[in-house]
Amino acid sequence: MSEAPVNPGGNFVKTVPEGDNRQRQVCADCGFIHYENPKIVVGSVVHFEGRVLMCRRAINPRKGFWTLPAGYLELHEMAADGAIREAWEEARARIEIDTLLAVYTIPRLSQVQLIYRAHLRDKAISPGPESLDVAMFTPDEIPWQEIAFPSVRWALGHYRDSQARSAFTPYSNPEGENGDF
């Protein structure tokens, strides 16, 4: 069992707790285990009249690049509700969820992404505080060279592949892809 201080001056040590198989932050006084788990990202491919909604990021990482409306799930929030909230926060878009499109895992970032297929309830959109611009693109108009993240490409491709189907198994990372640039 290996031990090293996690936090100088604190009572936590990095150690492998009994019955576990990896190092965790453990309180040396009471034995409390501080688990660090992946972050959940929720978002959606929002469609309306043959176009998809995209947001130009106003924040880092990848400021100025295009993405889907997505962000971290909040504590005590249902995943689909988080995707609806993110569409409002980033694009002032009122959406309705159609179905779960994909579940992507990005180990490098310790993220699990739940991406929904959704549609606009009305065509009013405008940039929220985290977006420089928002736009509706046909597949031919999407600025592919300015896409922020690999999972955005995957989601757009999976959306295209699923458009004609009302029921399908949610997609996952394309073969051999883990989200690295």
Residues 109 and 92 reside in one and the same domain: yes
CATH number for the domain that contains residue 12: 2.20.70
Q: Which helix (DSSP H) or strand (DSSP E) does residue 144 occupy?
A: none
Which residue in the block uniquely carries the two structure tokens 């990848």?
Answer: 62
Does residue 179 belong to any structural domain of this protein?
A: no
- The answer, yes or no, to whether residue 1 has pLDDT greater than 50, is no
Q: pLDDT-derived band of residue 10, with 50, 70 and 90 as boundaries?
A: low
* From 46-55, 144-153, 162-171, the region with the lowest mean pLDDT: 162-171
Residue 30 belongs to what domain range? 4-34
- 52 and 91 share a domain? yes
- Does residue 14 sit in the same domain as residue 85? no
Query: What single string gives the DSSP state of each residue in 34-58?
Result: E---PEEEEEEEEEETTEEEEEEES
- Name the band, by pLDDT with cuts 50, 70 and 90, for residue 181: low
The residue type found at 135 is: A
Q: For position 7, what pLDDT does the model report?
A: 46
Please tell me the least confidently modeled range out of 9-18, 102-111, 115-124, 156-165: 9-18
pLDDT at 117: 98
Query: Does 137 lie in the same domain as 107?
Result: yes
Residue tagged 């972050």 (tokens) = 39
* Token pair listed for 58: 């106003």
